[in-house]
Amino acid sequence: MLKLGELEASVMDVLWNVAEPMRVREVLDELNQDRNLAYTTVMTVLDNLHRKGWVEREMQNRAYHYRATSSREEATAQTVRELLDSTEDRESVLLHFVQSASEEESDILRRALRRKSRKR
């Protein structure tokens, strides 16, 4: 994801895949199924994600519990929005994107645009 380092993205993946807030130790245990990270490394990453607004935390029994501030889908849509806002030629970007879209993705876009036009 844009604005996230590799480890930050991995931590976010863990948080996005669960319904309940997680302690640092729980996030670490999930991540360490595929690697060998230190507790303090994950704690620092979660603190940085909190500072950046990607996660919120709540103190419970002397330990922070972390949860994502938005869903994976909302975060991805925000990234796309920021990319579009960063270019002067949005039309070109959108046209290139549409050309790369699968038939299923094109159908999804058509349905979303029809719903949007009905709301106006």
pLDDT greater at residue 116 or residue 35: 35
Q: How high does pLDDT run on average in the chain?
A: 93
What is the per-residue pLDDT across 5-40, written as a single tens digit (0 to 9) for each?
999 999 999 999 999 999 999 999 999 999 999 999
Give the position of tokens 């948080």. 15
104 lies in a domain?
A: yes
DSSP state of 19: S
pLDDT at res. 43: 98
What is the per-residue pLDDT across 63-85, written as a single tens digit (0 to 9) for each?
999 999 999 999 999 988 988 99
11 in Cβ contact with 49 (< 8 Å): yes
> What kind and span of H or E run contains 51?
helix 39-52
pTM of structure: 0.81
105 lies in a domain?
A: yes
For residues 93 and 47, state if they share a domain.
no
- Domain with 14 in it: 6-68
